[in-house]
């Protein structure tokens, strides 16, 4: 059994991003910029935003966090997003989810300029990703694909079971694997006999937020298991959706939690921000030609 070390790979990617930032600054006089919108005081969201800001600072990316009260109106958020869309120093914009119930999440995500949508949640980028065209890819599934690539795991021709069908993880994960020529089964809360699907899978990707959802008897020998879930137990320990101790005995590869997919998510967000900055430079150069 081999551990898919997301932490180690993310550190490698962050160093590559740092080098890209230096090159953009010295050759193009551009410092990539990322703006994060945080609405409310959810501790988990605040922690994620803090990690993203810290990673940006370490890579040399200009980062700003717009903290807003939970009672803020939707119109006010849209107003701030419109301002960010016009700001030439901001290459990437992301809105930390979930948003308060009185806010229409779709309307907010659709208000972000597609060329600054580094989270890859805008319908424009989702559509392009589905068609296999160049786009901003949601950071978590993007991180999973990069992790598989690092370990020379090619999904082509493999049976893959994706457990979870969220717009943020499950659906884009299935799409990317389908684009990589895998045979993909997407399972969700309405799936009957989940075990039947997971037992047939060469690769299992799971991210629903349920402790020990995937157990040893649900995984065939030699399977590759990617645990995208994150749960905090009563004792404060972080675990995924997979019974790691027992499932790992049957796997050829498995991601740990923490230290697997989580660090990759932040690393790929930085990669998307660099991509946005390079596209900005390209647009400006074409305008000046």
Predicted pLDDT at 218: 98
Q: How far is CA 200 from CA 55, 83, 141, 204, 285, in A?
A: 38, 49, 21, 9, 51
pLDDT at 137: 98
Question: How many Cβ atoms from other residues are within 10 Å of residue 138's Cβ?
Answer: 29
| Per annotation, catalytic residue among 91, 119, 202, 227 | 119
Give the integer Cα–Cα distance in Å for 44 and 225: 25
Q: Which two tokens stand for residue 158?
A: 């493999």
- Whole-angstrom distance, CA of residue 190 vs CA of residue 213: 14
C-alpha closest to that of 246 among 233, 230, 260, 227: 227
Decide: residue 65, CB within 10 A, 0-12 exposed, 13-18 middle, 19+ buried: middle
Task: Give pTM, 2 decimals.
Answer: 0.95
Flag whether 170 is marked binding: no
Same fold, 29-118 and 139-262: yes
Q: pLDDT at position 275, please? A: 97
Please tell me the predicted confidence (pLDDT) of residue 210: 95
Measured CA to CA, the distance from residue 215 to residue 64 in angstroms comes to 41
Question: If you write DSSP's letter for every residue of 201-231 in order, what string do you get?
Answer: -SEEEE-SS-TT-B-GGGS-TT-EEEE---E
28 as an active site residue: the answer is no
Reading the chain (289 residues) residue by residue, the pLDDT tens digits are 999 999 999 999 999 999 999 999 999 999 999 999 999 988 888 888 999 999 999 999 999 999 999 999 999 999 999 999 999 999 999 999 999 999 999 999 999 999 999 999 999 999 999 999 999 999 999 999 999 999 999 999 999 999 999 999 999 999 999 999 999 999 999 999 999 999 999 999 999 999 999 999 999 999 999 999 999 899 989 999 999 999 999 999 999 999 999 999 999 999 999 999 999 888 888 888 7
Q: What is the model's pLDDT at position 42?
A: 85
The residue ranges of every structural domain in the chain are 29-118, 139-262
Tell whether residue 164 is among the known ligand binding residues.
yes
- pLDDT value at residue 283: 87
Measuring CA to CA, how many Å separate 102 from each of 49, 98, 99, 105?
21, 11, 8, 9
In the block, residue with structure tokens 């389908």: 178
The pLDDT of residue 41:
85
Task: Return d(Cα 204, Cα 165) in angstroms, integer.
Answer: 13
Q: Annotated catalytic residue: which of 5, 96, 116, 117?
A: 96
CATH 3.40.50.10860 is the classification of domain 29-118: yes
189 annotated as a binding-site residue: yes
Assess whether 52 carries a catalytic annotation: yes
96 is catalytic: yes
- Is domain 139-262 given the CATH code 3.40.50.720 in the classification? yes
Between CA 207 and CA 170 the distance in angstroms is 7
Question: Could you say which of 14, 20, 52, 202 is catalytic?
Answer: 52
DSSP code per residue over 1-53? -EE--HHHHHHHHHHHHHHHHHHHHHHH----EEEEEEES--HHHHHHHHHHH
What six digits make up the tokens of 267? 């690393």
Sequence-distant (6+) residues with CB within 8 A of 171 are 165, 186
Q: Which of 234, 230, 260, 94 is nearest to 164 (CA)?
A: 230
């Amino acid at each position: 059994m081999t551990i898919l070390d997301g932490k180690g790979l993310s550190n490698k990617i962050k160093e590559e991003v740092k080098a890209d930032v230096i090159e953009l600054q010295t050759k193009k006089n551009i410092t990539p910029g990322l703006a994060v919108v945080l609405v409310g005081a959810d501790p988990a969201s605040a922690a994620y935003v803090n990690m993203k800001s810290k990673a940006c600072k370490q890579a040399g990316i200009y980062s700003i966090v717009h903290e807003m009260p939970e009672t803020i109106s939707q119109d006010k958020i849209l107003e701030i997003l419109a301002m960010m869309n016009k700001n030439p120093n901001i290459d990437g914009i992301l809105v930390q989810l979930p948003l308060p119930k009185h806010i229409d999440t779709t309307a907010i995500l659709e208000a972000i300029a597609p060329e600054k949508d580094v989270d890859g949640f805008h319908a424009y980028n989702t559509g392009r990703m589905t068609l296999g065209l160049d786009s901003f890819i949601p950071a978590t599934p993007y991180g999973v694909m990069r992790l598989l690539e690092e370990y020379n795991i090619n999904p082509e021709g493999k049976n893959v079971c994706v457990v979870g069908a969220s717009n943020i993880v499950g659906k884009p994960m299935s799409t990317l694997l389908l684009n990589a020529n895998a045979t993909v089964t997407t399972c969700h809360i309405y799936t009957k006999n989940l075990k039947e699907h997971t037992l047939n899978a060469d690769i299992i990707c799971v991210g629903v937020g349920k402790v020990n959802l995937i157990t040893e008897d649900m995984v065939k020998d030699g399977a590759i298991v990617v645990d995208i879930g994150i749960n905090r137990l009563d004792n404060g320990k972080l675990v995924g959706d997979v019974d790691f101790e027992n499932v790992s005995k049957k796997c050829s590869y498995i991601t740990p939690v923490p230290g697997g997919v989580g660090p990759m998510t932040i690393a790929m967000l930085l990669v998307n921000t660099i991509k946005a900055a390079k596209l900005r430079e390209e647009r400006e150069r074409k305008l000046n030609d």
